[in-house]
Every structure is written in C-alpha cells, then in structure tokens.
Amino acid sequence: MFLESIILKCFYQLNGERSVSSVYHLLKGNKSIQTIQDAHSYQLETLYGIYRHLTRNSFNQKVSFLVEKEYLNEIEGETNAFRLTGQALSCLAESKRQFPFEYFNGLRYNETADTFQLRLLLLIQTLTNTKMRFYQFIPITDQISVEQWVKQIYRKMKSNEAHALQAIYQELYQLLQLFPDKYASLFVERLTGYKTYGKSMNQLAELTKLSIMDVHLLLTGIIHKMIQVIETKPEQFPVLSFLIGDLIEQIPITNSANLTYQLLQKQYTIDQIAVMRNLKINTIHDHIVEIALYDTAFSIDHYINQEKQQQIIDVINQENTFKLRDIKKAVHDDISYFEIRLVLAKKKLLK
C-alpha cells in the first residue's frame, strides 16, 4: 500500500490542478521543465523520481484501483484530474504512520541513489570474493561505468580486503542502526557476498509480505536516507562517503541549458543564441526557466518587468492556482506563457 499512498499524496499536493500524467512523470523523474517545476510548485520535491522503473501500465492500474475504491474522485469538467475523498485523507494519515515517507529526497538523490547502491553492492561482492581468493564470481551488475569505478577503487583496497570489509561493516552497522530492524534487514538481504547472492525484489516481497513495488520504494527510501546521513557526517563514514563522492555535487541543470547560460552571461540575446546554437527560441526559453529554477542568483527582471511579475503573482494568489492555462486566462493578453513560467520558477524562492 506504500505506492498507493504515495500516489494519493501526490494528488493531494497537486490539489486537482494537474493531470494524472503529471503524477506519473513526477514519480518517474521525468527531466522536463514542466515536471521539475511541478515538483517545486506543489512541494513534491522529495517524491520526484523515486520510482524510475515504474511502468505506465502498473501506474494506471494503481490509479484505477484508487478510483474504484473511491479514494480518488474525478473532478467534474476536467478530464484526468482527481481529488482525494474524505476516506482517502484518513487512509493517507494512517499510512504516514505505517510507511517512512520522510526518508525520500527524490529531487536531490534520485540519480545518485541507483549508482550508489550498485557501487556498494558490487564493491562488497568483489571484496568478499577476493578475500576468499575466489576470482570466478559473476558480478551482480554489468553496468560498465559502475564496474570500472569499482575496479578502480578495488585496486587501492586489494591486498587488504579484510581491513576494507571491516570498515564497511562498521559504517553500515552504524547507519543501519538508525533504521527499524525490519528495514535494516531488508537492506542486508539484498547484499551479495561470497557464494551468497542477494535476494531478488520478488523474494524480498514474499519475505516481507509486501508488493514488489512497495519493496522497491522502501529500498529506495532507505538508500536516500542513508545518503542523507552520510552527507551530513562524512567524517563518520569515510568509505561510504567516498562511494557517493563524485555523484552529488553536480548541479541538476542540463548541459545544454548550461551552455545557454554561459552565452547569456556574455550578454547575447535570446534570438542571437537561438541562431548561434541552431535551436528554436522555445528551447532557449526552456533553458532560461531551468536556470531560474536552480540558480538563486539568476535575476529574471531582464526578461519580464516587475509590473508584469506582480500581476502574475497577484493572479496566482487570487485564483490560488499554479496552472499555466488558468493563469494565462486571468492575466493581461500581452503576458506570455514563457513569462508566467519564469515567475513560477522563481516563485518557489519568493515564498
């Protein structure tokens, strides 16, 4: 029921203003500006991208199930937008006691989490097997980037596997003690060592009597929480923070947007940049919204004057909506979608 509750939580935050698809994109961690902006505007940052393997099909099934159970009501006059029923609200409150929603930090960790986990799994597998002088093991992942990374650090640890394993043990032990036993053991069951392969998602599901999807979410949450603890006290977790090391600092802004940013800083206009980069004006607009979203220092005044900004903010407050279409209808005709998106992007900082 974890996934169902998370979907309910999303619809709750979205307040009927966004469609079913936007929930799906949010959980999948779609990189479009629209989705990232949704995450910010509706305080869903923590749930962004927490289920990257979610399929459209299983998502739709869950939504249908929630509608059938009368947890979700389709909003009249809107296709594909839903509101929570009273029943759903109490169910959500209950499941917040049952499941660790607070573990997630999706917007920040969704990309890091997978890589961190794979690195850790493969490193443990490698160290335990080589410690036992067994070199013919089948690696648990063959993602080349992970394999190469582990190979590199293994070179430094080799010949002293026992020491490295001891260190990993102590760090994991410390970390896992912060979790309830059932979650700690879920995490440990997934590990692969010398002549023992970790459990598959389905096996974990049977063990815990949860659905595969819930197990997936729990593990993701556990990893997010771990990374967060490691990040705040790196000195207590030297090995594990090394595993995260290069993954996090990257600003979550696309390369392409970054290039546009550099050109803007050199005082080129939007039109000029579009011509230079052979891109559509719209694309450059997307970049600017993305920059506004992430860079606190970036001023939008250059692209939309104060007066217009105020007008948009007034509409947002009066109508109590973040919906582009509704805002556009209520403001002056000469305000463009681009300008509205810019203000919305910035607004998360104004609050």
Supply φ then ψ for residue 177, to 5 degrees: -65, -20
Kindly list the distances between the CA atom of residue 295 and the CA atoms of 48, 77, 304, in Å, as whole numbers in the listed order: 19, 38, 17
199 binds another protein (CB under 8 A): yes
Smallest separation, CB 222 to another protein (Å)? 12
What is the CB-side half-sphere exposure of residue 219 using CA atoms within 13 A?
28
Residue 272 Cβ, how far from another protein at the closest point, in Å? 31
Tokens 């600092």, located at residue: 249
Which member of 159, 160, 196, 305 binds another protein (CB under 8 A)? 196
Instruction: Report the nearest approach of another protein to the CB of residue 311 (Å).
Output: 41
Near another protein by CB under 8 A: residue from 14, 84, 165, 230: 165
Which of these ranges, 25-33, 93-101, 105-113, 192-200, lies near another protein under the rule CB under 8 A? 192-200
CB nearer another protein, residue 39 or residue 49: 49
Amino acid letter, residue 113: A
- Binding string, residues 123-162; x marks residues near another protein by CB under 8 A: -x---x--xxx-xxxxxxxxxxx----------------x
What is the rounded CA–CA span in Å between residue 157 and residue 167? Answer: 11
Q: What span, in angstroms and rounded, lies between the C-alpha atoms of 51 and 53?
A: 6
Supply the minimum distance, in Å, between the C-beta of residue 170 and another protein: 9
Q: Which is nearer to another protein, 205 or 259 (CB)?
A: 205
Burial of residue 41, with CB atoms counted within 10 A of its CB: 0-12 exposed, 13-18 middle, 19 or more buried: buried
Name residue 80's amino acid: N
Q: What are 93's two structure tokens?
A: 């409150």
User: Of 10-18, 38-46, 79-87, 172-180, which segment contacts another protein by CB under 8 A?
Assistant: 172-180
Give the residue with the Cβ less far from another protein, 65 or 337: 65
Distance CA 60, CA 79 (A): 15
Measure the CA–CA gap between 204 and 10, rounded to whole angstroms: 26
Q: How far is the CB of 202 from another protein (least distance, A)?
A: 7
At 119, which amino acid appears? R
Per-position DSSP letters for 231-267, written without gaps between them: HH-GGG-HHHHHHHHHHH-S-S--HHHHHHHHHHHTT
How far is the C-alpha of 231 from the C-alpha of 234, rounded, in Å?
6
Site string for another protein, 80-119 (x = CB under 8 A): --------------------------------------x-
Question: What is the chain's alpha carbon radius of gyration, rounded to the nearest angstrom?
Answer: 23
Report the residue from 31, 53, 156, 332 that binds another protein according to the rule CB under 8 A. Answer: 53
Residue numbers 261-300 binding another protein by CB under 8 A: none
Q: Does 203 bind another protein (CB under 8 A)?
A: yes
- Binding-site size, another protein (CB under 8 A): 47
Q: Tell me the C-alpha distance between 304 and 82, whole Å.
A: 33
List contacts with another protein (CB under 8 A).
Answer: 53, 118, 121, 124, 128, 131-133, 135-145, 162, 165-166, 168-169, 172-173, 176, 181, 184-185, 187-189, 191-203, 206
